[in-house]
Structure 1
Amino acid sequence: MARKIFKSIAVDMDAGTHDDRLYSAALHPWRSWLRKFMLPFVRQETPWLAAMQKRIRTPFLDHFFIWTANLGTHTFFMIFLPILIWFGNAHLGRSIACLTAFGVFWSGFLKDFMCLPRPLSPPVHRLTMSQGAALEYGFPSTHSTNSISVALYLIAVACDSLPPQSPGRMLCILGAMFYATSVVFGRIYCGMHSITDVIGGTILAFMLYWTQWASRDILDAFVTSDSYWVFLTIPVCLTLVGLHVCFMGVVMGVFPGSWMCNNAELCRLGLESSAENVSFGLMPLFIILMKVIIGVTMLFIWRLACKKVCYIILPPIYRAFNLPHRKFEVGAR
């Protein structure tokens, strides 16, 4: 069987900014029509965003929004979500893992489906720590999808579990609102997304939140039952892994892992004791700190080790089955 040949596309162009004739030829007619309908909204916002940056940018805000953008990345959720489970809140950890997984999945799907560009730079200044941002399409904003869906879910949990007069309830609501607002507005401030991108991400976030909240008891029953159907998530996620490897891998681990933990007495007792023994004092705080440091360190070690193993195992498999592959392939190609 002949090897697949990959044509290179100029990488000095941002994703979504090639000649419109290329998209008209490559996309289905109604998909091309939808892109042409949405493109003017993104284009006309570019000078507005450039004028806004010129008016309000300061060194402090630059650093603040660049760093808060990290609160919507894979690395942040890789650290944050396990901490929830380690300290006994497995239900909340699973729920937010599902929200972020499907937020990344569906926003990535829609980005590739719409092929809409980010705001043009120049005139907009892009402020980011990511070197490959220009290789991704813009609509909808993944950061907006994840931050808003997580914030809505945290607010719903606070309102459902805490009394109305509780200061903790108001603190949770204000914290979630601040988190979502700083991330979402930061994407506009940093020139990474248009208002249209953020609105699309917000709509998707609400749909994901509503689905997750409405089905939370069903998903909990799924992982706490004695049925082996939970392991079907592995082949299902493997069929979808081409759209987003990281979070499909998370879902493959969260559901079977939660089921196995629930059916293993030692693991279940460990989670229950973590939830019951949260207290304040010098020694408990030291134990909590060490638990976080050791746990996060193990996460990074595991991640690096798995990448090394995959680099050894996967290339021969791809070559054997003549699957598309190219070492260090540029995303926009």
Structure 2
Amino acid sequence: MAWLARSLRGSQPVARFQRRCGLFLVASEVAEGGARQANGSSHLPAARDLRNGGGRAAPAERRATCNGGPSKSGEDHPQEYVVKNYFYYYLFRISAAMGQEVFYITFLPFIYWTVNPYVARRLIIVWSVVMYLGQVSKDLLKWPRPYSPPVVKLEKRTSAEYGMPSTHAMAATAISFTFVAATVNQYKYPFELGLMGAFLFSTLVGLSRIYTGMHTVLDVIVGSLISGLLIAVTYPSWDFLDHLMLTSAWCPIFCIVVPLLLCYNYPRLDYYSPTRADTTTILGAGAGATIGFWMNHHYITNVSAEIVSPTSAMAEMLLMMLARFLVGICLLVVTRQIIKSMALRAVCSWYKVSVGDLVARQRAEIEVPYKFTTYSFIGLSATVLVPLLHEILGLN
């Protein structure tokens, strides 16, 4: 078992998976091509062409430059790679985006605005808890990401983070299986079909992290298992926690104080990593959304009403969902730009540093308050202001 864990933690399984999917690091491909040619069994003609400087690459191949990301010392390591299978390339790049901010800031509000607030509340809370645990675990365990070479690294920003566990895999597993668990009693659909969809989604996101060279196989497996275990353990208490969140008078205070304490006491590293900023973003959005849920329950009625009805005309229903989504996203984008600028300027002014000083903005006393303020307002806007705007525009 220990041997298997060490194998799954290594970089070679990641590199082999990439090569099987048609993604080759030029330097390693050349070396491998030369070794195989010496044995009389080379199957990498493109590599030989690149090595010898002759011949033309096949139409399905691409030679490009990627960056392995900043190391602890901040250095960049440019890489040249070859794509021989565009189907896997785009499939896994799109799947990887399903675990990034652009997905969270669109999918989670979409569920709240157009599907079911009951389901959205569970998704947002589980997502916040899972992501915090994953981010903290990375900086406590300090397990490195796959090494390059032999691995091709297709992303730059996250290379400065540690690898274990994969928060993409954790979030994908948590969101997909929480969605099934929360909707199975709300809507009539085959439970087995929902499980298959959740498994497919989480598997694609997990494999995308291996394909992009950002995580080892063990990172992905452990991340998925942690989320699955957390869902299984907390599921019986979801209804109680939801009721407590909506009715307790202490909810707004708890949602501000506790996340801020967690952010300010985030594990410190000997170099800058974006994990604290990402964690603050997640906890801020979750805190703002939770306060919005509480405000809607106590002060606002008939907001974010479910519009998915079996008696609605399909075309009319889809147009209404699209209109609600577009209006909401536009408001969130505007909110993000305005609040981010105001919060950043206010905090920098308080500490007497320039807004353009990127190093100063990485300090905890500046990064945490401006990130938390920005995204808590986004969460609050998504759950309170957007539904009110829907009502004003007659999009209920």
Tell me the TM-score normalized by structure 2: 0.65
Identify which of 199, 207, 232 aligns with 1:210: 232
- Note the C-alpha offset of 1:277: 8.7
Give distance in 2, aligned partners of 1:81 and 1:233.
18
Give distance in 2, aligned partners of 1:272 and 1:282.
19
Per the alignment, residue 293 of structure 2 pairs with 258
Contact persistence 1:69–1:187 (CA under 8 A): yes
Contact persistence 1:111–1:138 (CA under 8 A): yes
Decide whether aligned partners of structure 1 residues 197 and 237 sit closer, same or farther in structure 2, where only a CA change above 3 A counts. Answer: same
Give distance in 2, aligned partners of 1:292 and 1:43.
41
| Deviation string, structure 1 residues 290-321 (Cα, Å, up to 9, x no partner) | 2111111111111111111121111133459x
| Deviation string, structure 1 residues 127-147 (Cα, Å, up to 9, x no partner) | 23xx31211110010001111
Task: Trace 1:147-296 onto structure 2 (pairs within 5 A).
Answer: 147-161=172-186, 166-167=189-190, 169-225=191-247, 227-231=248-252, 232-242=254-264, 243=266, 244-264=279-299, 267-272=300-305, 274=307, 279-296=312-329
Give distance in 2, aligned partners of 1:75 and 1:230.
28
- Note the C-alpha offset of 1:108: 0.8
Give distance in 1, aligned partners of 2:8 and 2:305.
53
Give distance in 2, aligned partners of 1:228 and 1:44.
46
Contact persistence 1:140–1:198 (CA under 8 A): yes
Which region of structure 1 is more displaced relative to structure 2, 80-89 or 60-69? 80-89
| Deviation string, structure 1 residues 205-229 (Cα, Å, up to 9, x no partner) | 123312442221122211332x311
Contact persistence 2:296–2:303 (CA under 8 A): no
Per the alignment, residue 66 of structure 1 pairs with 93
Whose radius of gyration is greater, 1 or 2? 2
- Note the C-alpha offset of 1:150: 1.7
Secondary structure of the 2:159 match is helix
Contact persistence 2:122–2:182 (CA under 8 A): no
Per the alignment, residue 27 of structure 1 pairs with none
Secondary structure of the 2:360 match is coil
Per the alignment, residue 152 of structure 2 pairs with 125
Contact persistence 1:241–1:249 (CA under 8 A): no
Decide whether aligned partners of structure 1 residues 252 and 278 sit closer, same or farther in structure 2, where only a CA change above 3 A counts. Answer: farther
* Identical amino acids, percent of aligned pairs: 26
Identify which of 117, 137, 143 aligns with 1:90: 117
Contact persistence 1:223–1:262 (CA under 8 A): no
| Deviation string, structure 1 residues 73-97 (Cα, Å, up to 9, x no partner) | 1221111111111125112111111
Contact persistence 2:164–2:219 (CA under 8 A): yes
Decide whether aligned partners of structure 1 residues 273 and 201 sit closer, same or farther in structure 2, where only a CA change above 3 A counts. Answer: closer
Decide whether aligned partners of structure 1 residues 230 and 330 sit closer, same or farther in structure 2, where only a CA change above 3 A counts. Answer: closer
Show structure 1 runs of 5+ residues with no match. 1-36
Tell me the TM-score normalized by structure 1: 0.76
Give distance in 1, aligned partners of 2:195 and 2:167.
22
Per the alignment, residue 137 of structure 2 pairs with 110
Decide whether aligned partners of structure 1 residues 284 and 154 sit closer, same or farther in structure 2, where only a CA change above 3 A counts. Answer: closer
Contact persistence 1:119–1:194 (CA under 8 A): yes
Per the alignment, residue 12 of structure 2 pairs with 47
Contact persistence 1:143–1:183 (CA under 8 A): yes
Contact persistence 1:65–1:182 (CA under 8 A): yes
Per the alignment, residue 348 of structure 2 pairs with 315
Give distance in 1, aligned partners of 2:184 and 2:327.
33
CA-atom RMSD in angstroms: 2.8
Secondary structure of the 2:150 match is coil
Q: Which structure would you say has the larger RCO, counting Cα contacts within 8 Å and 6 or more residues apart?
A: 1
Secondary structure of the 2:304 match is helix
Normalized per residue, the structure richer in helix is 1
Contact persistence 2:119–2:183 (CA under 8 A): no
| Deviation string, structure 1 residues 24-69 (Cα, Å, up to 9, x no partner) | xxxxxxxxxxxxx99x937962122212322232221011101111
Per the alignment, residue 299 of structure 1 pairs with 332
